[in-house]
Structure 1
Amino acid sequence: MSRLSPSLRPLALALLCSIPALALADPPKNLDARVAQVMQEQGVPGMAVAIVENGHVVHAKGYGVRRLGGTEAVDADTIFPIGSTSKAMTVAALAVLVDEKKIDWDDRVIDHLPGFQMYDAWVTRELTIRDLLVHRSGLGLGAGDLMFVPRSSLSRAESVRRLRYLKPATSFRSGYAYDNVLYMVAGAVIEAVSGQTWEAYIRDHVFEPAGMRVTTSDEVDQFATANRAQPHARMDGGLRGVGRQEVLDERASLGRNAAPAGGVASSANDMARWLEIQLAHGALPEGQGKRLYSETAAREMWTPQVNMPISQYPAPIAEATPQFSSYALGWDVEDYRGLKIISHGGAVLGAQTMVVLIPDRNIGFSLNINSEDGVVLRGLMFELLDHYLDQPQRDWVGDFSKFRQARELLKVSAKPVASRPTLPLGGYAGRYADPWYGPISIHQEGKRLRLNFEQTPNMQGTLEHWQYDTFVVRWDDRTSEPAYMTFRLDEQGKVDDIRMKAVSPIADFSWDYHDLHFTPQAAGAAGGQP
């Protein structure tokens, strides 16, 4: 990637704008057939594809069905949850406020949220709006996600308050670790500055001006829309992602407290509008000088802020390994075959999205599926990239499928040691609390222990003895990842604390059980925070 000094960037942009418009390159001739083929091979119920070339929408179409076993077809207006690709939309909302001079990217968060605190007082004083967006705060990967995964009864304001109890994993601004919770704070900043909820502000100042007719960040509006894709996942194969495709409860996909990090739902037609605006650096498709956000804001969004670690992919996907990888404001910035690629993936329970921009070719595309079969998204992403970069056709979907299968085969299930628990079952019962998550309760029902994550609706399960003082939590709702729960005893033989971790070695990082540290709570104590 070339690097220009700030003084040369305006000149470079002026030169780029003077280049004649590029000729349109047709989408792959076999695109419809290829999408249908990989959907059938991988068992994806429904999909939406949008492609924009040189300022024109050349493809916006739905495929398959909204719900497994149903007949209602996906079309270009069917809305899909788009997960973390929502982050760039939250950034766009902030950009509007920056353009209006109501905030600056480098304002301190506490100047707009005076009560906001991180675990470290110095980080609290220094954390900026930019820091909220680029995953360099020092928090660990996915830290705090259990405040909204799979759902929550917590408000956004209360969830933001609890961040002061999340211990950092590294020093401030020393490296990259993806998080969602600080985008939740970004949403709170928008609310504090604008006087509107994040949902209302992004509707009024992003979606409506952009002409995104059916896109919504409001849960009530989403479920009131008949033309929506239902979520699906593979649940009965021992590990999530393996087994038969099942329809999930769409109302249990994400806590709304974290919607600024991943709570938008959109369609192929609306994603095409979003791609047009992105490629036009904030200008609206209708022209006439109308903009969603400024050219200056557009440059900020795509400017790398923090390096991301690079691991060499093994065969058969080794060629997908980038030479550089960085995070900008709500976007990944990487290279592929010598060109800069701006992209971001998104996933909520039962749905996934990929948004890709090739600025040097003035091309962008988005892919949505209503399942968790990410090999389809990653594979079609590289197949489309190869098409637009004049590379030979290749079965990238098949290659990514082989990679995933090999990864799963390497993960051998652990075997417990034959042993018995130290205490009778009643000795493990009680109320416990973690500083950032809050309270849980364990009680004995006959010859079993039952666990209740009290601030996560319907997250109850049974503790099955594993070995020594470790149990496995089998949740009543099978969509929740099973977890090991280890009790540590004090010198008097009473529970001193509890640690947890996901059973599956390929569990999504948002199941951050490993960040929990439960300690006994005194009888009659309320909440879980000191």
Structure 2
Amino acid sequence: MTVSPQFCIPYFMSLFRNASLPEFFMKSIPVILRSVVIVLLLSAPSICLRSDADDSSREMAAKLAEISRKHDLPAMVAAVVNSEGLVTSACSGNRKRGTADEVELSDRFPIGSNTKSMTATLAAVLVESGKINWNTTVGNVWPKASDKDIHPKLAAVTLDELLSHQSGLPANISDVSAQAWASFFDEKQSPALERRRMLKLVLSNPPSHARGKFVYSNLGYAVASAMLETSAGESFESLMRKHVFGPLEMQSADFRSMESAKQLQPPLLWGHQADGGKPLDPRNAGSENPTVYAAAGTIHVSIEDYAKYAAWQLAGKPAPVLRSKDVFDHLHKPQADYTTAGAKYGSGWIMMNTGLGPAFNHAGSNTNTFALIWLFPESDFGVIVCTNSGQEQAFAACDEMVSHLMAQHAGSNNLQPQPALVAPALGEIGPERLVGRYQLAPNFVFDVTLRDGHVMVGITNQPTQEVFADSPTRWSYRGVDAKLEFHLRAKGPAYALTLHQNGAAQKAKRIRD
């Protein structure tokens, strides 16, 4: 059986319909969102503390068991995270359908196309080190290649365009040659050499569609990984272990290959085929994509190590993977209109605005497993759910678990549909909407008040000072080169402020009085 990673955007508390996909692609749910985004009440309490993890884990495990039974899945695993790390995690079910071999938190789940944001993260590392640039083209990396080797229109494609699915490349190697695609499962050479073979096969052909148009392409990520390893003079897999897995202490994370699969020893986490749910031995060819697609979706990782990556993304700080905030922010820059109205794609993330603030999400499958991640940086909240089944009901089950965890950990038992948020008109913002307390660090709180119509800002252990309006949302100190930028939605008080000082921007989130 041949497999290809795939992804989707589920919408909460809804039913899924099938979508027809190219050959070798799994049947997936359509990327359709409701006209309203389902969100939680913004005034809800924050996520439970780590000290509550035992009770929370037991409740989570019970819910996983309930949903697994409802959707007839062998096993599920889930984690809730915030910017400080893992909040709680749990698992339920069996490693293989029909056995009593119980799944554990240490089991490494395939995350499919969720690998892509990690590939983009590695690209950011190399951009920061000067080995490549977001605008580096295919032709720049292989300047000696002739037009016969690299079609001129593909030679002009940039790294950014590859990472945002705007390259013009087809979706998969199988679209170029089904026979060649099947041969990559033999993995007769090192992954780097397999990617070189792939380049010779695909880059000589003209683009399959217009450059700059969003068309999801696993092949584009495979080409991007070859660009990265060529520019750095080291294999993609080695670079990822050194620069992403290592700094984040993701000890279980690695790429699956036939060589590593043959060395696996029981207990083994089995995948279950999309068509019929038959167990698939992870040591067999076809249980995962070949190594040529490492950058597109062959990472296997435990849920708690995956949570480390999610927490780093939520924290909004470059360290320990990166040094530059600009490079980090580029990973969350919308670059292409996604197939759903209002959604964007960039650097391995699907992005949209919700009542919990901007959300990053992705889903992935190798047709035998399914993984789903949602991150809400402004609400400091994230959810990851995985299952060892690629069946159609796996999508609905993971979506249902995400909805449950959002409701539980954000403090509301009811999901409330609300209209999509729009930026407020500046003239409608009065200074009373800025009043509140904003925490930058445990011992660094901005206390914004109104005094006789003047906006006053007190800082922990510092005197209160007046700030003056540059605009309804930007206010400056006098005598100190510092500005405060307030972040608001269409209604209600500001949910955060950013301190701009000495060339740096530091965000403080609104806290309860």
TM range (shorter): 0.5 to 0.7
* C-alpha separation in 2, matches of 1:228 and 1:99: 38
Structure 2 equivalent of residue 502 of structure 1? none
State which of 175, 185, 193 in structure 2 corresponds to 1:152. 185
State which of 371, 374, 383 in structure 1 corresponds to 2:404. 383
* C-alpha separation in 2, matches of 1:200 and 1:141: 26
State which of 330, 342, 347 in structure 2 corresponds to 1:324. 342
RMSD over aligned CA atoms reads 2.9
Structure 1 equivalent of residue 354 of structure 2? 336
Identity over aligned pairs, percent: 23
In the TM superposition, what whole-angstrom CA distance separates every residue of 1:25-51 from its partner, at most 9, and x where no partner exists?
Answer: 466984322211110111111222121
1:181 aligns with 2:199: no
* C-alpha separation in 2, matches of 1:150 and 1:36: 39
Structure 1 equivalent of residue 366 of structure 2? 348
1:365 Cα offset (Å) = 1.9
* C-alpha separation in 2, matches of 1:228 and 1:96: 33
CA gap 1:113/1:130 in 2 versus in 1, 3 angstroms: same
In the TM superposition, what whole-angstrom CA distance separates every residue of 1:273-324 from its partner, at most 9, and x where no partner exists?
Answer: 111111123545xxxxx444532222101110000122xxxxxxxxxxxx51
* C-alpha separation in 1, matches of 2:181 and 2:300: 17
* C-alpha separation in 2, matches of 1:116 and 1:266: 40
1:144 Cα offset (Å) = 3.8
CA gap 1:33/1:158 in 2 versus in 1, 3 angstroms: same
1:141 Cα offset (Å) = 4.4
Q: Which secondary structure does the structure 2 equivalent of 1:356 belong to?
A: strand
Q: Which secondary structure does the structure 1 equivalent of 2:203 belong to?
A: helix
**Quick check: 1:334–1:341 contact (8 Å CA) kept in 2?**
yes
CA gap 1:291/1:176 in 2 versus in 1, 3 angstroms: closer
- 1:295-444 matches, within 5 Å, as 295-310=325-340, 324-337=342-355, 339-372=357-390, 373-388=394-409, 391-393=412-414
Q: Which secondary structure does the structure 2 equivalent of 1:51 belong to?
A: strand
**Quick check: 1:379–1:395 contact (8 Å CA) kept in 2?**
no
State which of 275, 283, 292 in structure 1 corresponds to 2:310. 275
Structure 1 equivalent of residue 210 of structure 2? 171
Q: State the structure with bigger RCO (CA 8 A, min sep 6), 1 or 2.
A: 2
State which of 60, 85, 92 in structure 2 corresponds to 1:31. 60
1:259 Cα offset (Å) = 1.2
* C-alpha separation in 2, matches of 1:148 and 1:384: 39
Q: Which secondary structure does the structure 1 equivalent of 2:79 belong to?
A: strand
Higher mean alpha-carbon deviation, 215-224 vs 274-283, is at: 215-224
Q: How many residues align?
A: 349
Structure 2 equivalent of residue 510 of structure 1? none
* C-alpha separation in 2, matches of 1:177 and 1:341: 21
State which of 247, 270, 278 in structure 2 corresponds to 1:230. 270
Structure 2 equivalent of residue 402 of structure 1? none
- 1:458-469 matches, within 5 Å, as none
State which of 10, 23, 47 in structure 1 corresponds to 2:76. 47
Letter in 2 for 1:377: C
1:203 Cα offset (Å) = 1.2
Q: Which secondary structure does the structure 2 equivalent of 1:152 belong to?
A: helix
**Quick check: 2:58–2:90 contact (8 Å CA) kept in 1?**
no
**Quick check: 1:148–1:258 contact (8 Å CA) kept in 2?**
no
Q: Which secondary structure does the structure 2 equivalent of 1:348 belong to?
A: coil
Structure 2 alignment gaps of length 5 or more = 1-44, 50-55, 188-193, 418-513
CA gap 1:221/1:98 in 2 versus in 1, 3 angstroms: same
TM-score (norm 2): 0.62
Structure 1 alignment gaps of length 5 or more = 1-21, 235-239, 285-289, 311-322, 397-530
Structure 1 equivalent of residue 160 of structure 2? 130
**Quick check: 1:282–1:291 contact (8 Å CA) kept in 2?**
no
1:107 Cα offset (Å) = 1.1
TM-score (norm 1): 0.60
Structure 2 equivalent of residue 202 of structure 1? 240
Letter in 2 for 1:366: I
In the TM superposition, what whole-angstrom CA distance separates every residue of 1:155-209 from its partner, at most 9, and x where no partner exists?
Answer: 2211122113555343211x21101011111111122122221111111221122
CA gap 1:260/1:56 in 2 versus in 1, 3 angstroms: closer
CA gap 1:297/1:148 in 2 versus in 1, 3 angstroms: farther
1:62 aligns with 2:91: yes
Structure 1 equivalent of residue 254 of structure 2? 216
In the TM superposition, what whole-angstrom CA distance separates every residue of 1:370-419 from its partner, at most 9, and x where no partner exists?
Answer: 101221122223333344555544799xxxxxxxxxxxxxxxxxxxxxxx
Q: Which secondary structure does the structure 1 equivalent of 2:215 belong to?
A: coil
